[in-house]
A and B are shown apart, each in its own frame.
Chain A
């Protein structure tokens, strides 16, 4: 069990994050660049000194220990295999430092490298390896010393989308066999969801959200998290099954935007809430739809971006939102930037959940 409260103070930046990671658990630190993810990881490893707080491993405080006595493993994005040593000696380096004889160290390294499918590359130099092989060597080098904590910094970021998929499966397999606590830093939500049991989202040095991938993806609490998981997110005020969103016209009809009611939602709530819906829940019309559809507003098209097999339409107006439509619909509606359209969100796909009261 790792229990840490990391405080790192720098001019113009303060990291203050608490995290607890159980043995065998994989926690992903997510956050925009500059949020302090890497600083947190370096602080855990001992490369960046703490300004305050503590790090305890299995109840023993380790934050006063130097890097080489912490028993952590760390794999960085560019692996940092020692270029002047063979693959075997890279992996044997850790055991040697911990007092093993050369023969013992090499034996342990061989076992780990064979397990990683690299038994045929023991004598190779790191520069002769492919990216995937280098990553497996780096992982073996970290795991051979049986660390109590494994830290991974953007483990798959250097790979292209295709190899990333298989690399993720391999990494997942290795992590599932690791008995210690594992913390990985990433800004790729797919990577986090695929590898981690729990997500911790950091923004501006502070923890903003924590939970299982499913919880975080479904209930984003900041714009960053919502964008990460491709959701539209608003703060609003709930009265029963109605949510008035900040900036969304409150009156029944005929406001300056052409109007619409408050959002109708499936949940029965009261007070400050978050309201989220996926871009695919939005339907666009050229003219005001017949009848009295709920969740209707008059929006301006800000831009169009091709997104896989659909087109993401960015809307401004009373609220900014993203809508996913088919290329056929774009042609049919004749969508182009600057145009006005009517947007409707299906009530069944909106999702409201309590938010902390605004300060």
Chain B
């Protein structure tokens, strides 16, 4: 064993580690330092701030719900069913992770937009127009955030002991019962951790949202969009908005840490 303490850490590792930490923490500190603390309360009470915050919380929660509904079964397929082309499917699932969100938003527009592959058919048949609606925000956020959930849940499924599922099947449980009563409870911490990541990613979504859903205050203007647009005319207001985002994220992480994230 190496000795603990500073003497055991080589300088060549300690220095970059310290710089890396500073690089992550300093910008957050700057937000706190430059925040207009005196006018903070008044600025927070401004209707467009509350509007954007409400919209952000609503859409990222809805997006997370959609990701859970679709992503958990997808993760289960990837982890438990040996089908041809599984590796390829997994690569496809991670695509939104590496794709620039703006490109993702454009891609969504091409599919679900007014003249898009599916969109052209949506309006005349169902009377649904997606672009410039809150639903479009949810779709854009779900598109970008889903890989976080799928990868996290798939990892949890792979790490969980599949023999519990065999034991349940031997006792007479159908595959659906096994999934519901054994698999899900066993990977619940992994699902929760994935949902938190997914929710945080959705909350911060910018590129795909502004491309696909536009920037209508009260309808599609979420917090990140509000930050960006306020920055030009009123930098202090942008700082306040960023600060709100920071506090919301920190609060969620702290609340969930003890219950879920640590155990996964």
Contact = CB atoms under 8 A, between A and B. Distances in A.
Given A80-B163, A80-B164, A84-B185, A93 B170 contact: no
B170 A82 contact: no
B172 A83 contact: no
Interface residues of B, number: 18
Interface in B147-182: 161, 163-164, 166-175, 177, 181-182
A80 B171 contact: no
Given A84-B186, A93-B181, A97-B177, A74 B167 contact: yes
Interface in A272-299: none
Contact of B164 (A72, A82, A94, A141): A82
B174 A72 contact: no
Contacts of A141: 171
Contacts of A98: 172
A73 B170 CA distance: 7
Interface of B: 161, 163-164, 166-175, 177, 181-182, 185-186
A145 interface: yes
Given A82-B182, A83-B186, A97 B174 contact: yes
Interface of A: 45-47, 66-74, 76, 80, 82-84, 93-94, 97-98, 141-142, 145
A93 B171 contact: yes
Given A80-B164, A82-B164, A74 B186 contact: no
A82 B168 CA distance: 9
A256 to B, nearest CB: 56
A344 B175 CA distance: 64
B55 to A, nearest CB: 37
B172 A68 contact: yes
B245 to A, nearest CB: 35
A67 B177 contact: no
A145 B169 CA distance: 13
21 contacts: A46-B170, A66-B169, A67-B169, A68-B170, A68-B172, A68-B175, A71-B172, A74-B167, A76-B167, A80-B163, A80-B167, A82-B185, A82-B186, A83-B186, A84-B185, A84-B186, A93-B168, A94-B171, A98-B172, A141-B171, A142-B171
